[in-house]
Amino acid sequence: MEVTREKEADLEKRQTQRTVFLCKVIGPRGTGKTAFLQAFVGRNIATKGNSSSAFSPYVINTVQVSNQEKYLILNEVDVETGFLKASDAFCDVACLMYDSSDPHSFDYCASIYKQHYMESNIPCVLVASKVDLSEVKQFHGMAPAEFCYKHRLPPPLPFSSLLLDSTSKNIYTRLACAAMYPHLNGSDMSNTSFWLRVALGSAVVAVLGFAIYRAVARLK
């Protein structure tokens, strides 16, 4: 067992030694939270013929961030019982999911964010699900993109369990990055230069690793 620093120390140091992160997936019923969890472990519930209640509300898998393997735990939150007390909202990163084809869906996410996360240090990522369907205007007073801009959150990320392309799969890496770098605000996380730095960091680590391997091989 490896003992690592507490999250408060990570915020202070602006880096983390942790390898396991908890993400709570929150959204109204029918948003596709179960499909989002199952896609993370390579399962498609549409082809299995099972109801969402047949699956565990937890899944875990690995993601690569800056050439480091991290474990990301996704926990689907029940909208009826998920927030009985303030501590129930605690996690390393919150994934607020709304149905882009349902005009009432985003309102729930905006409400949860304002009640539980707006004043916290917990990073939040918004996900627009069911993007394979026609997008409709949300009845919330602000469009999701405007809401994110106002609250310094990354723009909503598109997801479809039927179209699992690289864009949809990249969301899990984004969630892990948000958990790893909680001191960064949304504008930093959505900035192209941030992701370029992450990619360059991975490349540098890979090159150094190869150089060390060559040096050790010569000594044998």
Helices (H), the chain: 7-13, 33-40, 105-112, 144-150, 166-180, 186-189, 192-219
Asked if residues 130 and 97 have their Cβ atoms less than 8 Å apart, the reply is no
Q: How many CA atoms lie within 13 A of 101 on its CB side?
A: 11
Kindly tell me the sign of the dihedral angle through the C-alpha atoms of 155, 159, 163, 168: positive
Q: Distance (Å, rounded) from C-alpha 153 to C-alpha 178?
A: 11
Asked if residues 89 and 117 have their Cβ atoms less than 8 Å apart, the reply is yes
Helices and strands per DSSP (H, E), number in the chain = 7, 6
**What pLDDT does 210 receive?**
47
SS3 102: coil
pLDDT along the chain (220 residues), means of 10: 51 72 96 96 74 83 92 91 79 98 96 94 96 95 96 96 84 95 65 48 46 53
List, in order of start, the domains of the chain with CATH numbers.
Answer: 7-189 (3.40.50.300)
Phi-psi region of 168 (alpha: psi -120 to 50; beta: other; left: phi over 0): alpha
**What pLDDT does 75 receive?**
97
Total-model pTM: 0.77
Distance from the first to the final alpha carbon of the chain: 32
- Scored b (16 or more CB within 10 A) or e, 57-71 reads bebeeebebbeeebe
Cβ neighbour number for residue 16 with a 10 Å cutoff? 19
Q: Distance (Å, rounded) from C-alpha 146 to C-alpha 142?
A: 6
